[in-house]
Structure 1
Amino acid sequence: MKLRTRNVVMLTTAAALLMSLAAGCTNGGNGGEGTTAPTNATNENVSEEKAYYDMYDAVTDSSELPDWTGKQLKLKIWYAHGTGDAKRPVPTEDIVSPEIKRVTGIEIDKDGSFDNGGQAIDVKLGMINAASDWPELAFVTDSGMGSLKDMFAAGKAYDLTEAIEKYAPNLQKRLNFETFPYVKRFSTNNDQDGSIYSFPTQMGDPDRSLKIMDPSFVTPNALEGTDQFIWVRDDLLKKLYPEAKTQDEIDALFVEKGGKFSREDIYDVPVETTEDFTKLLYDMQQLIKTENITENGKPVEVSYAFGGQDNWGTLAVLSNLYGRMPKGSNYFTYFDKETQQIEFMFKQPFFKNIVQDFNKLVRDKVMDPNSLVENNAMHLEKINNGQYAVAYLYDQPDENVMKAAGKSYRYRKVFLDSPVNTAKFISPMGGVKNNIGVVIFKDSVKEEDLPQVVRFLDYMVSEIGEKMYTWGPKSAGLFDEVDGKRVFKDKELEDAMVYNKDNGKSLHYNLANTRLASTNVYGGGWPYYPTYMWGGSNVSPFYSYERVLSPSEARNFFDPGNLPNNSYSDLGIPINNDMQIWNFFGVVPESDQFWKGRDAFEKALTKTLAARDDAHFEELWKQFSEIAEKNGGNEDLRKKIDDYFKLANKDQLDALK
C-alpha cells in the first residue's frame, strides 16, 4: 500500500473551533465510558491458540476462527452521513453481531450509537465537542471529512497510517491505495497533512471496482442510465394512464421476456416534457380529490417538498428530472459546457426558476406544505402508509411494511421519455472510491486498544468477514455447501440476498444488503456495522450464486440504462477529479469554509419553498443568496475551484466541450 510516514504538523490557533477542539484533547486517549475491560484483560488475545488475525489464509469461514479471549470493547458509533435517518431497521435474529464479538471482542453499542439527529454534520460536531462526549468511532462520507478538518488538525482523531500498515493486511489487499487512488484521497482528507484519518470501508460502484481488480469480470447486475426517476403508486397511475403497467405486471414481463425490457416497455407512461410531468402531478391531485382517496382515514397527497432531512432529494434529484439534468450535477457545483467552467448552480437563473416552480407546487398543495415542517420519522410514516402518490430519491416505500398493512398496490418507476440536456451538462465518471471512512477518536479509544479496533475493521473488510455478514457464519446453518458452491436453505433468504427481494429476511438475520430499499445506506440493521463493498463483492451471494431469472430483479432492470449503449458507463465522461464541491475540500481551503455554513445555507434554501407568493419568494431568495455569499459562495471561490478542476483534468478538457 506504500503508506506515507506521518508528517509533523504545526497547528495554528486561528480558528475558534480548532482552539476549542485542541483544548479538549486528552493525552494518548484516556478512554471513554464505551470502552470496557474485564479485570487483568489486555488488548491482545491472551489464548495460546493462534490469533484470528493470523489465520485468514488457513480458514474458509469465520466460524473456524477461535473465540477472542482478550479485552472486550463496547464502541459507540456516530453515523455522520447526511442529517440522519429515522429508519433504523432492527434485526430479530441477529447472527452477525454475536459473531463479530466472538471473533474480535468488539460490540457496537446499540443504545449509545447515534446519527446527526436532523442536524448538519458541522452542527452535530459542535454539539459533541461542547459536551466533550466523543464516541469511539464515526462513519463519515467524503463530504463529511471536510467538516472534520479542524478536528483532525487538533489531534482529536488517530492518524491510522502506521496502524493500517501493521494491523490491516486485508485492507491493503482488497482496497489498495495504489489501485484506488481516490480511496487514499478520501482517507487523507485530500492529503490534508499526509496522515490517514479514516479507515476505508464500503467501496462504492462494485461493478467498476471489481472490473478494475479483475479485467475479466463480467457483471450480472442491472445498469443505470443518466436520468433520474420518480416512484408512483401503480393503482393511481393506472387510473390516469390505463396503458401503464403495475409493478406486478412489470415483474411478470421481466420473466416472460427473459430478463430484458424494450424501450417501449420502460417508457409506457406518455410523459415526455417538464410540462407533461407537471400535468401528471396536477392530474393526480384532481384524481385524489374527485375520488376522495385516503389511507387509513388519512389524506393522500400528491408529493412532498421536503423529507425531514435536507434539500438533496427535492433539489438535487427531483430537480434534475424536472430540469432534464443528468445525474452528477447538483445545486452546489457543476461543470457548464456552455461557459466551459465550474459554476455554482444555486446562482443560476435556471435553478432559481426550478425552485420557484416547486414553490408554486407547494402553494397549490401539489407538494404537501406540511412536509416542510415534518421530521424524517413523520415523513417515512406517510411514505410507508401510501399517503404520497409520488416519491423520489431513496424514498422507495418499504414493501414489507405495506404488505403487512394489507396494501394491494405497489410503487413503480416512471421516467421522462426525453433525453437529458447534454449540451449544457456532463455526466461525470470520477475515480472509484469508498462511500464510508471510519474515524477513530483518541478521547474514547485508548492507544493500547487501537490495534484491536483496527484489526476488527480489517476483519470486516476481509473475505472471511464479508462472507460472514452476507452468508452468515457456517455455524448458523443458513446454507449448504457442496464443492465450494453455497446455496441458501431458505428460499426467502435466497430471494433477499441473491435477487434483492425486499422481504425482510436479510434484516431478520442482520445480513448486509445495501441493494434493498429498507437497508440501502449501510446494508444491515441498527446499530450499523462496517462492510467491505456497497452491494457486495464477488464472494457475496449476489455475485457468486448460480442464479436463475427472478421477478424480484425486475425493478433494477426496469431502467433505460439497460438499453443498448445507454448506461451511465456508456454515456459518462471519465475525469480525474469530480466536480462536486466536496472533491475540493483540503485542496481549495475556501471550499471547506463555505461547507461549514451548509446548515444555514440549507435552511434558507428550504424557506424559499414555503413562500406565500411571488413577491415573498423574491424576498426569501434574496435572503438565501446573501447567506450563500456571506458563507463564501462567491466568485473568488468559484474561480479557485474551477482552476483546480481544470488543472486536475487537463487531459480530459477536450471531452468536456
Structure 2
Amino acid sequence: MEKRSVVRASTIAGAVMVALGMAGCTSDDASNESDDSPVTFTLFSADPHSQWDNMESPVSQKVMEETGVTLQPEFDVNGGEQKIALMAASGDYPDFILPKGSASTLVNAGAFIDLTDLIEEHGPNLKKAYGDYFNRLKWSEEDESIYILPTSPIDHTYWEPGNGFMLQHEVVKELGYPDIRTVKDFEDAIRAYMEENPTIDGQPTLGLSLLADDWRIMISTTNPAFYATGAPDDGEFYIDPDTYEATMHYRRAEEKEYFRWLNHMNDSGLLDPESFVQKYDQYLEKISSGRVLGLIDADWQVDDAERALREAGKHERMYGMYPVTLTEEYKHPNFQDTGYLGGWGIGISIDNEDPVKAIQFLDYLVSEEGQILQNWGLEGEHYEIVDGKRVIPPEEMEERNNNANYVKETGIGVLKGFAPAYGDGVEDSTGQTFTIANTEQIIDSYTEVEKEVLSNYGIEMWKDLYPQEDEFPVKPWGAAYNIPVDSTSDLNVIMQRCLDIVKRKVPEAILAAPEEFDQIWDEFMAELEGAGVEEAEKEYTELVRTRVELWND
C-alpha cells in the first residue's frame, strides 16, 4: 500500500497483499442461523502474506475471542490463477476466497454465494461502511448479485505516494540535493554518485535495479512506463479519458521512449545486470544490503527491504520517492482519484457450511471495534487512552517503526485486506481517525536523515513533491485492471498471449544494443498485433464503457 515508515507498519497486510478478494452467499442461506461454537474457516488468497501470524498474536487472539472464528489460510505466491482454475474445475472450494483478478472464473463456475441478503440481515457494519458505494458492489448489469466484498480502503486520504522513482537519501545528500524531476535527473544523480562511490560496504555499487520475477515485472518494469508518461494505473491498458477507448499501453509512442531510456541505462552500465534474472527474495536482499542506489517500484513491494535497512540503522540507505517522468511535459499521476474501487475483494464460497458466521466475521472486522483493534491494537498493550484519545507511547511507536516483525508479533494489520476497511482520515464515533496515519504521525515517523532530506527540498512530506489530487479529474471507471473479465471470453486468451510477448520482448528491448532497439520494438508491436491485441482493445473498451454506465445508474 501507499504509506511509509510507521504507516507502512500499521497497514502492511494491505500493502503486502496488494488487493485481496472474497465473496458471496445465496438468499436461501441468509435465513440460516449460526450457532456460537468456534469454527475454523479455510481461506485461499491469490497473494502471499509475509507477516501471517497463524492467529497466535495478541490481536488475532482477541479477534478469535470476539468472533469464534479461526482462519486456516493458503497464500499463493504466483498470483492464484492456476490454483483458482483448478478449484473451478474440481468444484472443491475453501470457505473464503480472495481471487484478485480471477473472480470471474469462480463466478462462472458457481463457486460464490450472493451476499446481498446476508449483508441485509447480518451485516450492519458492512452496510454502514460501504454506504453510498453499494452500487459498486454489483457484479454486472445482467447480474446484480454481490459476490465480492471489495477490500480497498473506503474514503481513503492518500498522504504519501505509493509509486515513483526511489533514490537513496545518501545520493541526493552527497550531490547537494539536486532536482529529481525527469529520468535524466535521476540518471545523472546515479551516475555521479557511482563515479565517486564504486563500492558500498565493500560490495560493488549498483545504480538501478529492476524486478521481472513473474507477475512482478508489471510493478517494477512495465507499469512505470505509464506513470512516467503521465498516464494513471489501468493495468495493461491506457484508457482515453474522453472516449473510454482502451489501448494496450505499450503501443503508446511515449512509452516506447521510456523503454528506450531503460535501454540507454543498461548500455551506460547503470542498470543492474541481474534485473531480469533475479528472484524477488534476491532483489529484496540486494536492496537490504544498502548498495542499490535507485529503484523504480511501488512502495509496498520493497517495504520489507526498507524496514530491514531501518532496523540495521542504515537510514542514509533508505529511499525517497520522487515524481519522475520522461520529460517535464508530463505530470506524475500517482494521486489521481479513482473514486471507490469495487471489484477485487473477498468472497464466501458455496462450500462454506456457516455463511452467517462467515459474514458476521467480516462484519466484525469492519466494525468500529474491529477497525480500532486492527489499526491500533489492544488498549493498555499497544496504546493508551489519554484525555479521551488513543495515544501510542513513544517506545511502542519505536517498535512500530523499527521492528521488521512488528505486524506478525502483535497482529496489528494482519487481517487487513481480508475485509473492507476504512481509509486514512476517516473518523470513528469519537472524532478520532480509525487508522493511526495522519500528517503529524507520518512526519514523526520519518528518520532524522529523511527529515533532513525533505527539509533541504523545502517540504515536509514526499507528497508535497507530487502533482496533487485536484490537478486531475476523477476517473469515472475507477481502475480498468479492477474490471471483472468473463473467464469464458476470448479476451483472457488473447491477453495471456500478449503478456507472454511482453515478458519476453520488453527485457530483450532493454538489454539490446541501442542500434537494435527500434527493430526489436517493431517486432514487439507486430507480435502483439498478431496475437490479437486490437480485438482485445475493442472488447476492453466495451468493458470500460459498461462499467461507467453501471456505476452511474
Measured against the shorter chain, the TM-score band is 0.7 to 0.9
Q: Following the alignment from structure 1 to structure 2, what is the Cα–Cα distance between the partners of residues 480 and 175?
A: 29
Q: Is the 8 A contact 1:137 1:439 kept in 2?
A: yes
Question: Could you say which residue in structure 1 is the equivalent of 2:444?
Answer: 551
Aligned match for 1:107, one of 61, 64, 70: 70
Alpha-carbon offset, residue 346 of structure 1: 1.2
Structure 2 counterparts to residues 262-341 of structure 1, below 5 A: 269-289=178-198, 293-295=199-201, 297-306=202-211, 308=213, 309-316=215-222, 318-320=224-226, 323-325=228-230, 327-328=232-233, 332-335=237-240
1:247-271 per-residue CA deviation (whole Å, 9 max, x = no partner) reads xxxxxxxxxxxxxxxxxxxxxx234
Equivalent pairs, count: 501
Q: Is the 8 A contact 1:138 1:439 kept in 2?
A: yes
Q: Is the 8 A contact 1:206 1:534 kept in 2?
A: yes
Aligned match for 2:165, one of 215, 230, 233: 230
Q: Following the alignment from structure 1 to structure 2, what is the Cα–Cα distance between the partners of residues 437 and 329?
A: 17
Q: Following the alignment from structure 2 to structure 1, what is the Cα–Cα distance between the partners of residues 438 and 127?
A: 26
Instruction: Rate the CA distance shift 1:478–1:646 in 2: closer, same or farther, 3 A.
Output: closer
Q: Following the alignment from structure 2 to structure 1, what is the Cα–Cα distance between the partners of residues 478 and 113?
A: 28
Alpha-carbon offset, residue 461 of structure 1: 0.9
Alpha-carbon offset, residue 457 of structure 1: 0.8
Alpha-carbon offset, residue 573 of structure 1: 0.6
Structure 2 counterparts to residues 451-462 of structure 1, below 5 A: 451-462=356-367
1:439-498 per-residue CA deviation (whole Å, 9 max, x = no partner) reads 22334x23xx11111111111111111122223244x6433335642333x32334677x
1:29-62 per-residue CA deviation (whole Å, 9 max, x = no partner) reads xxxxxxxxxxxxx98335xxxxxxxxxxxxxxxx
Q: Is the 8 A contact 2:483 2:547 kept in 1?
A: no
Instruction: Rate the CA distance shift 1:407–1:486 in 2: closer, same or farther, 3 A.
Output: closer
Q: TM-score, normalised to structure 1's length?
A: 0.65
For residue 381 of structure 1, give the secondary structure of its aligned residue in structure 2. helix
Q: Which amino acid in 2 is paired with 1:462?
A: S
Aligned match for 2:124, one of 162, 169, 172: 169
Instruction: Rate the CA distance shift 1:44–1:536 in 2: closer, same or farther, 3 A.
Output: farther
Q: Could you say which structure has the higher helix fraction? A: 2
Q: Following the alignment from structure 1 to structure 2, what is the Cα–Cα distance between the partners of residues 123 and 546?
A: 41
Instruction: Rate the CA distance shift 1:589–1:325 in 2: closer, same or farther, 3 A.
Output: same
Q: Is the 8 A contact 1:128 1:134 kept in 2?
A: yes
Identity of aligned residues (%): 18
Alpha-carbon offset, residue 436 of structure 1: 4.7
Question: Could you say which residue in structure 1 is the equivalent of 2:39?
Answer: 72
Alpha-carbon offset, residue 530 of structure 1: 3.6
Question: Could you say which residue in structure 1 is the equivalent of 2:280?
Answer: 376
Structure 2 counterparts to residues 308-457 of structure 1, below 5 A: 308=213, 309-316=215-222, 318-320=224-226, 323-325=228-230, 327-328=232-233, 332-335=237-240, 342-392=246-296, 393-394=298-299, 395=302, 398-407=305-314, 409-413=316-320, 415=322, 421=329, 429-433=337-341, 436-443=344-351, 445-446=352-353, 449-457=354-362
Q: Is the 8 A contact 1:471 1:511 kept in 2?
A: no
Aligned match for 1:180, one of 130, 133, 136: 133
Aligned match for 2:34, one of 44, 49, 52: 44
Structure 2 counterparts to residues 602-621 of structure 1, below 5 A: 602-609=502-509, 611-614=511-514, 617=517, 620-621=520-521
Q: Following the alignment from structure 2 to structure 1, what is the Cα–Cα distance between the partners of residues 273 and 192?
A: 18
Structure 2 counterparts to residues 82-97 of structure 1, below 5 A: 84=48, 87-88=50-51, 94-97=57-60
Alpha-carbon offset, residue 319 of structure 1: 3.0
For residue 346 of structure 2, give the secondary structure of its aligned residue in structure 1. strand
Question: Could you say which structure has the larger radius of gyration?
Answer: 1
Alpha-carbon offset, residue 388 of structure 1: 1.1
Q: Following the alignment from structure 1 to structure 2, what is the Cα–Cα distance between the partners of residues 609 and 375?
A: 20
Q: Which amino acid in 1 is paired with 2:318?
A: Y
Alpha-carbon offset, residue 95 of structure 1: 1.2
Q: Which amino acid in 2 is paired with 1:480?
A: E
The more displaced of 612-621 and 375-384 is 612-621
Q: Per chain length, whose mean CA-contact separation is higher, i.e. which structure has more relative contact order (CA < 8 Å, sep 6+)?
A: 2
Question: Could you say which residue in structure 2 is the equivalent of 1:524?
Answer: 414
Question: Could you say which residue in structure 2 is the equivalent of 1:125?
Answer: 84
Instruction: Rate the CA distance shift 1:384–1:135 in 2: closer, same or farther, 3 A.
Output: farther
Q: Following the alignment from structure 2 to structure 1, what is the Cα–Cα distance between the partners of residues 65 and 135?
A: 33
Question: Could you say which residue in structure 1 is the equivalent of 2:396?
Answer: 493
Q: Is the 8 A contact 1:91 1:509 kept in 2?
A: no
Q: Is the 8 A contact 1:584 1:591 kept in 2?
A: no
1:85-133 per-residue CA deviation (whole Å, 9 max, x = no partner) reads 7x44659982121112222222122xx5212x2x344334335556776
Question: Could you say which residue in structure 2 is the equivalent of 1:55?
Answer: none
For residue 158 of structure 1, give the secondary structure of its aligned residue in structure 2. coil
Q: Is the 8 A contact 2:235 2:481 kept in 1?
A: no
Alpha-carbon offset, residue 72 of structure 1: 2.0
Alpha-carbon offset, residue 372 of structure 1: 0.8
Structure 1 residue 481 corresponds to structure 2 residue 385: yes
Alpha-carbon offset, residue 378 of structure 1: 1.2
Q: Which amino acid in 2 is paired with 1:410?
A: R
Runs of at least 5 residues in structure 2 that lack an aligned partner in the other structure: 1-25, 27-31
Q: Following the alignment from structure 2 to structure 1, what is the Cα–Cα distance between the partners of residues 339 and 187?
A: 36
Q: Is the 8 A contact 1:588 1:640 kept in 2?
A: no
Structure 2 counterparts to residues 565-576 of structure 1, below 5 A: 568-576=468-476
Q: Is the 8 A contact 1:229 1:415 kept in 2?
A: yes
For residue 157 of structure 1, give the secondary structure of its aligned residue in structure 2. coil
Alpha-carbon offset, residue 412 of structure 1: 3.5
1:402-429 per-residue CA deviation (whole Å, 9 max, x = no partner) reads 2443535232425368885469999853
Aligned match for 1:577, one of 477, 484, 491: 477
Runs of at least 5 residues in structure 1 that lack an aligned partner in the other structure: 1-27, 29-41, 47-69, 208-220, 245-268, 513-522, 651-657
Q: Following the alignment from structure 1 to structure 2, what is the Cα–Cα distance between the partners of residues 205 and 315?
A: 30
Q: TM-score, normalised to structure 2's length?
A: 0.75
Question: Could you say which residue in structure 1 is the equivalent of 2:20?
Answer: none
Q: Which amino acid in 2 is paired with 1:551?
A: D
Q: Following the alignment from structure 1 to structure 2, what is the Cα–Cα distance between the partners of residues 232 and 504?
A: 21
Q: Following the alignment from structure 1 to structure 2, what is the Cα–Cα distance between the partners of residues 223 and 354?
A: 25
For residue 391 of structure 2, give the secondary structure of its aligned residue in structure 1. strand
Instruction: Rate the CA distance shift 1:545–1:493 in 2: closer, same or farther, 3 A.
Output: farther
Q: Is the 8 A contact 1:202 1:435 kept in 2?
A: no
Q: Following the alignment from structure 1 to structure 2, what is the Cα–Cα distance between the partners of residues 236 and 422?
A: 24
